[in-house]
Structure 1
Amino acid sequence: MTTVPHMEQEPLRAKAAAELERARARSSALTDALDDDELVRQHSPLMSPLIWDLAHIGNQEELWLVRDVGGLPAVRSDIDELYDAFKHSRASRPALPLLKPGEARQYVDQVRRKTMDVVDRVPLSGRGLVENAFAFGMLVQHEQQHDETMLITHQTRKGPAVLYAPEPPRAEKTVLPQEVLVPDGPFTMGTSTEPWALDNERPAHQVRVDAFFMDTAPVTCGQYQEFISDGGYDRPELWTGSGWEHRTKANLRAPLYWRRDGDRWLRDCFGVVGPVREAEPVVHVSFHEAQAYARWAGKRLPTEAEWEKAARFDPESGRSRRFPWGDEDPGPRQANLGQRHLRPAEVGSYPAGASPLGIQQLIGDVWEWVDTDFHGYPGFTAFPYREYSEVFFGPDYKMLRGGCFGTDAAACRGTFRNWDYPIRRQIFAGFRCARTPGGGELG
């Protein structure tokens, strides 16, 4: 990491403070929307009680920013074990002696006051944890990731809607090509320069990718309904062995939160039930379902390297961009991020966010499953702790790229990597397909 001159530290402090406050406003909105009974309830065994997430956010901030970076005495060292995500599974957390909602709010407020003092005074140089305000950026991303997790918990809860947001923009009335050819050749994957990039995104390295076709847009609900209607869930030849075993055991028949109503499908979206919108990207499907659909369509899922090349590579300059549209941060014209809306936007809604090759909505709307196991890049170094990435490396997890409507821009880049078990469906995940060119297609 490059040492930041003293004169350039003040803008970094201002950015860190603003991003911390923006994340906290979202955390507060997600928890203030429910009463105490709902905050302490476990709405799904796959998710923590919302009040655990809130106190965990504060505890991690205390550990890293107050105690480590700031060198200040502990605020509540007695609760460290309660909010250690590695010591207690999500299913077991409701039985713990957790802080009550009022206590949790008081705790995170107390920690935040100390954090803002640390932001104002700590030198942003001298060690990797503080260069470029990295530790503050890491905790901003941690809080925003838990905010997305809390948004998922809101989706799992039963009861009337408590969250509200405007509808996403409508798609322009243009016909998009079904797929785009991504040329063969090397590109730069990962990053060594993004100041707040996490360890699994580093370092930048060259990867050669053979030519392939990538879908211009994510698979839509309407397209997925065709898969269902054609018996996709009843055809074992479309599924891998592990995928078919899980489909049978879990009795999968449609995306999570879909239900049949006569001759139409309905979807529950944060407590509001309405017809499935055919032009929206399908969401709440597992890796196994995505893979089965791709086989049904005569295609496959892209690899992680293919996805990132499609999202970042500029054939004209030969360089990798930060985002499909360029190097500037995402705004409301480029991508559906940050919980501005509570659902994916129709495909074709963000032409300003397209890649140089014309591929759309690679950032935002839905996380996209890719067919790659979680691994470190060549030269990977765990920083600042192994438990963020390294302990998850291996074949148990599949990668997800691009963020979703509930992902904040602070935790979403063209290099950002997410991962989960291939059976998971409660996350805001969809997919798009790719395929290898057939004989004669490349001339």
Structure 2
Amino acid sequence: MAATEATLAGTKTYNAATEHAGMSLVDRYRAVRAFTERLTDGLAPEDMVVQSMPDVSPTKWHLAHTSWFFERFVLMEHLPGYRPLEKTYLYLFNSYYQQAGERHCRDQRGYISRPTVAQVMEYRRHVDESMVRLLESIDGEPESSLSRLVTLGLHHEQQHQELMLTDIKHVFSVNPLRPVYRGEASVNESMGTRPMEWVSFEAGVYAIGHDGPDFAYDNEEPRHRQFVEAFQLADRLVTNGEYLEFMEDGGYRRPELWLSLGWDAVQTRGWMEPFYWERRDDAWMMFTLSGMRPVRLDEPVCHLSYFEADAFARWAGARLPTEAEWEVAAAGVTIGGNFVDDGRLHPAVAPAEPGLRQLYGDVWEWTSSAYAPYPGFRTAPGAVGEYNGKFMCNQYVLRGGSCATSRSHIRPTYRNFFPADATWQFTGVRLARGVEHGSAR
């Protein structure tokens, strides 16, 4: 399988069929909001108010903040006569939108015992009633600026659905009882993972970024030309077993494999294994949303920082792909895989099929690309313009989605981003290498 030189229109061949295709905006709104609340099934109110570290937000806060987004940016601006249920919520549940007013401290969200979970659910109902009334009044205007704003709000909520899962996983992980969020989905017994193979792509000028009528975040635009050298991409994700080989070869004790800041993190934080792994007697265990269980060697390794992914790639004689390489490889690949919709909530063993596998779902794939604006990028005016652009510093791009991502939320041009030391997301590794006399550079 080889890529050919592309024109600006040449890479727009993906098939992104989703469960929301053909639905009206009001029905999509109902579906997304309902799914958020289904993610709380089985949680007690006590579970939903804990903040286990500054980067983690309580479940209750996510439920409120996603409602705040619609209230602040849609209802207060576009529904005449709308009255907030409680004006102090505008302060409590703002996240980082400076132009939208004052905010409560991010690392103190766990201090907010009031409003209660029941009151936050009442807040959601208040917002939903007004939103449905507004959306029914604009039915049939899918291309209006208001419809586009609501669509942004729905994708914003889907991002927080993923954060709800990764955050409650962290909350439960620090509880000595190691609670179970959801029972483990059925797992097919594996006969082992096929050896990693390489898929080649030709050098050329490729079109990178989003263009067209479908939704995308502003950081995915504008579409632009980029020259990409010939490269090879691994046909699947790196597994726990392969990462364990790195560990057993002294990977966490060899400074020559690490970036300087990464080695500093290893030393100061005591990193010796992936986040959520624990050594018990003679076996490796891991914490999952289904509780503690043995590490399965053929599943994709996850919860790695950029530093760990980069060190592993160097140890393996390869490197991380650039985000442009990843997008070139994704052109023409149907979006499918292990998403939150499937209910597994954990990376799955690679399917036994030819070609690129696990490109979507399972784990977000670290790239070597710093999160930066595309040529010609302009931040939108107003508070909504703060959504992505102001974070384009000191972060790395990840691609492909994870087992906690909604299938209808992902696309080939999607640019996720996190700091290099972040580990609490479902993040993993796909290897790449340059092509020079048939070997890695």
- Give the shorter-chain TM-score range: 0.7 to 0.9
**Contact 2:285/2:293, CA 8 A, preserved across alignment:** yes
Paired letter, 1:141: H
CA distance in 2, matches of 1:14, 1:339: 17
Question: Structure 2: which amino acid aligns with 1:218?
Answer: L
2: CA distance between counterparts of 1:38 and 1:140?
25
Once the two structures are TM-superposed, the CA of residue 210 in structure 1 deviates from its matched residue by 0.4
How far the C-alpha of 1:420 sits from its partner, in A, is 0.7
Equivalent position of 1:3 in the other structure = none
- Contact 1:217/1:348 (<8 A) preserved: no
1:313-328 equivalences in 2 (<5 Å): 321=332, 324-325=333-334
Partner of 2:340: 338
**CA distances 1:45-95 after superposition (whole Å, capped 9, x unpaired):** 321111111111111111223222434423233311111112344321123
CA distance in 2, matches of 1:184, 1:124: 44
Contact 2:193 2:298 in 1 (8 A): no
Query: What's the counterpart of residue 6 of structure 1?
Result: none
Residue by residue over 1:265-291, the C-alpha shift from the partner in whole angstroms, topping out at 9 and shown as x without a partner, is: 111112521111111110111000000
Pair 1:192 & 2:211 matched? yes
| Counterparts in 2 of 1:167 and 1:393: CA distance versus 1, 3 Å | same
CA-CA distance at 1:96 after TM superposition: 4.1
State yes or no: 1:44 paired with 2:46.
Answer: no
In 1, Cα distance between equivalents of 2:395 and 2:83: 35
- For 1:364, the equivalent position in structure 2 comes to 361
CA, structure 1 residues 214+14, in 2 after alignment: closer, same or farther (shift >3 Å)?
closer
Aligned position for 1:317? none
Give the alignment partner of residue 410 of structure 2, picking from 405, 412, 416.
412
* Equivalent residue, structure 2, for 1:81: 91
Distance change >3 Å, CA 174–CA 428, structure 1 → 2: closer
Cα distance change, pair 194–410 in 1 and its aligned pair in 2 (3 A)? farther
Output one character per residue of 1:113-149: Cα deviation in whole Å (capped at 9) or x when no partner: 111111111276598633xx32222111111111110
Residue 296 (structure 1) aligned with residue 315 (structure 2): yes
Query: How far 1:440 moved relative to its partner?
Result: 5.4
Give the equivalent residue in structure 1 for 2:9: none
Q: CA RMSD in A?
A: 2.4
Q: How do 1:118-133 and structure 2 match up within 5 A?
A: 118-122=134-138, 129-130=145-146, 133=147
Amino acid of the residue matched to residue 120 of structure 1? E
TM-score normalised to structure 2 length: 0.86
For residues 226 and 251 of structure 1, do their structure 2 counterparts lie closer, same or farther at Cα, with a shift above 3 Å needed?
A: same
Alignment match, 1:278? 297
Partner amino acid, structure 2, of 1:81: Y
Query: What amino acid is aligned across from residue 343 of structure 1 in structure 2?
Result: H
- Aligned partner of residue 144 in structure 1, secondary structure: helix
Check if 1:307 corresponds to 2:326: yes
1:37, distance to aligned residue in structure 2 (A) = 1.7
Shift of 1:425: 0.4
1:29 aligns with 2:48: no
1:77 is paired with a residue whose SS is coil
Give the aligned partner of residue 390 of structure 1. 389
Q: d(CA) in 2 for partners of 1:19 and 1:122?
A: 14
Q: Is residue 2:167 matched to residue 1:153? A: yes
- Which of 113, 132, 135 is matched with 2:149 structurally? 135
Residue 213 of structure 1 aligns to a residue whose secondary structure is: strand
Q: Distance in 2 between matches of 1:89 and 1:428?
A: 26
- Count of aligned pairs between the two proteins: 406
After TM superposition, give the deviation of residue 172 of structure 1 in Å: 8.6
1:77 partner letter: K
Assess, with a 3 A threshold, how the Cα gap between structure 1 residues 66 and 178 changes in structure 2: closer, same or farther. Answer: same
Alpha-carbon distance between aligned partners in 1 of 2:374 and 2:257, rounded to the nearest angstrom: 31
CA contact (8 A) 2:76 2:82 kept: yes
Query: Which residue of structure 2 lines up, in the alignment, with residue 68 of structure 1?
Result: 77
CA contact (8 A) 2:367 2:399 kept: yes
Report if the CA contact (8 A) 1:44-1:153 is conserved: no
**Alpha-carbon separation, structure 2, partners of 1:32 and 1:391:** 35
Unaligned runs of 5+ in 2: 1-19, 97-102
Q: Secondary structure at the match of 2:211?
A: coil
* Cα distance in 2 between the residues matched to 1:72 and 1:231: 65
Task: Decide whether the 8 Å contact of 2:49 with 2:113 is kept in 1.
Answer: no
Equivalent position of 1:239 in the other structure: 258
In structure 2, relative to structure 1, the CA distance for the partners of 1:165 and 1:19 (3 Å cut) is farther
SS of 2:216 mapped into structure 1:
coil
Q: Give the residue type in structure 1 aligned to 2:52.
A: H
When residues 187 and 72 of structure 1 are mapped into structure 2, their CA distance, relative to the original with a 3 A threshold, is farther
SS of aligned partner of 2:121: helix
Q: Distance in 1 between matches of 2:77 and 2:143?
A: 12
1:90 aligns to what? 106
> Which residue pairs with 1:261 in the alignment?
280
The structure 2 residue matched to 1:437, chosen from 424, 435, 438, is 435
Conserved? CA contact 1:134–1:195, under 8 Å:
no
Alpha-carbon separation, structure 2, partners of 1:271 and 1:126: 40
How do residues 155-234 of structure 1 correspond to structure 2 at under 5 angstroms?
Answer: 155-156=169-170, 157=172, 158=175, 159-164=178-183, 166-167=185-186, 175=194, 177-234=196-253
Instruction: Measure the CA separation in 2 of the matches of 1:94 and 1:70.
Output: 32
Compute the displacement of 1:18 (Å).
2.7
CA drift at 1:195: 2.0
Asked if 1:109 is matched to 2:125, the reply is yes
Using a 3 Å threshold, how does the CA distance of structure 1 residues 235 and 12 change in structure 2: closer, same or farther?
Answer: closer
Partner of 1:315: none
**Which residue matches 2:158?**
144
TM-score by length of 1: 0.85
Letter paired with 2:130: K
Question: Partners of 2:105 and 2:305 in 1: how far apart?
Answer: 21
Taking the aligned partners of 1:70 and 1:12, their CA distance within structure 2 comes to 27
Task: Point out the more displaced range, 263-272 or 423-432.
Answer: 263-272
Question: 1:192: Cα distance to partner?
Answer: 1.6
Instruction: Assess if the C-alpha contact under 8 Å between 2:183 and 2:290 holds in 1.
Output: no
